[in-house]
Amino acid sequence: MSELDSKNHDYHLVDPSPWPVIGAVSAFVTAIGAVIYFHQDSYWLLILGLIAVLFTMYGWWREVIKEAHNGDHTPVVQIHLRYGMIMFIASEVMFFVAWFWSYFDASLYAGDIPQYLRTELTGGHWPPDAIATFDPWHLPLLNTLILLTSGTAVTWAHHSLLHDDRKGLRIGLLLTVGLGAIFTCVQAYEYSHAAFNFSGHIYGATFFMATGFHGFHVLVGTIFLLVCSFRVKAGHFNKDQHFGFEAAAWYWHFVDVVWLFLFAAIYIWGS
């Protein structure tokens, strides 16, 4: 390499990659497949699009891991990766703000709904007529304790990594993944015993959209941390370079905080 071609900066210039194009096409196919599924009950294109999206995620993140191992993720690059993760979490916050907004708009102004809509929507008060809400001090409280414990476990794993304690890192990660899986199972059991459904009234729609999307984020975060545990077993991450794990931990803490707001607003106050 000549002196003119040598790298004299801390930034990483990404090599040409097909994954942005593949990802865009995959997302487009998924969207079209979802529309077809809603209108014609045909799901093969939707499944194809989702498989392509998962393949894109695998291939793209695999290249990012290779970049890290090649030394391309300098301290300056890692700072900008953190900025990117912060912006992503901020966008997720606004996503959930929309569902909270919908819930509080329907609940706080239940009496302001026109009379001809009250019977169908709220009955003029909140919770609506004929809605048997969940007892917040039963399964919802159990899931709250599970998520708070998992947040403690992932923090323990992070501190173990910073102190070169590989055993503590592995145990903390596996404990967090296990608690995340238990949370999902408890929520699925809770849904199966709900005294109301998604359609027909605004309470069910707002409840299942808010808690259901949170449950989806728990599932994604569990997979995220499971991949991190596989990487730890493969010898990845050290106390100086572990952004992949740090991003997963940030995401998990975000999921914890959102659940606390859901538990307080929808389960306790909403009951």
My answer on whether 214 and 228 are in the same domain is: yes
CA distance 228 to 210: 27
pLDDT tens, 117-173? 444 455 556 777 777 888 899 999 999 999 999 999 999 999 999 999 999 999 999
pLDDT tens string 188-242: 999 999 888 877 778 888 899 999 999 999 999 999 999 999 999 998 888 888 8
- 26: which 2 tokens? 């995959």
Round to whole Å and give the CA distance between 12 and 67: 9
Residues 90 and 194 in one domain: yes
Q: Are residues 157 and 23 in the same domain?
A: no
Query: Is residue 6 domain-shared with residue 88, that is, in the same domain?
Result: no
How far apart are the C-alpha atoms of 115 and 110, rounded to whole Å? Answer: 11
Mean pLDDT, rounded, of the chain: 88
Domain around 51? 1-72
Q: Tell whether 117 and 144 lie within a shared domain.
A: yes
Structure tokens at 246: 């740090």
Q: CATH code at 221?
A: 1.20.120.80
pTM: 0.86
pLDDT of residue 173: 96
Q: Which long-range contacts (CB under 8 A, 24 or more apart) does 207-213 make?
A: 207/103, 207/266, 207/270, 209/99, 209/102, 210/96, 210/99, 210/100, 210/102, 210/103, 210/262, 210/266, 211/187, 211/262, 211/266, 213/95, 213/96, 213/99
- Do 96 and 157 lie in one domain? The reply is yes
The type of residue at 55 is F
Structural domain tally of the chain? Answer: 2
Which of 18, 45, 72 is the last residue in one of the domains? 72
Domain with residue 11: its CATH number is: 1.10.287.70
Same domain, 41 and 161: no
Query: Tokens representing 127?
Result: 């919770």
- Do residues 105 and 172 share a domain? yes
Do 21 and 141 lie in one domain? The reply is no
Handedness of CA 139, 144, 147, 150 (dihedral sign): negative
Considering 32, 55, 72, which residue would you say is the last residue of a domain? Answer: 72
pLDDT for 2: 47
Claim to verify: residue 58 and residue 96 sit in the same structural domain: no
Tell me, yes or no, whether 114 and 171 share the same domain. yes
Q: Give me the amino acid identity at 48.
A: L
Write out the two tokens for 213. 């999307």
Q: Do 133 and 6 sit in the same domain of this protein?
A: no
Q: Of 48, 72, 96, which closes a domain? A: 72
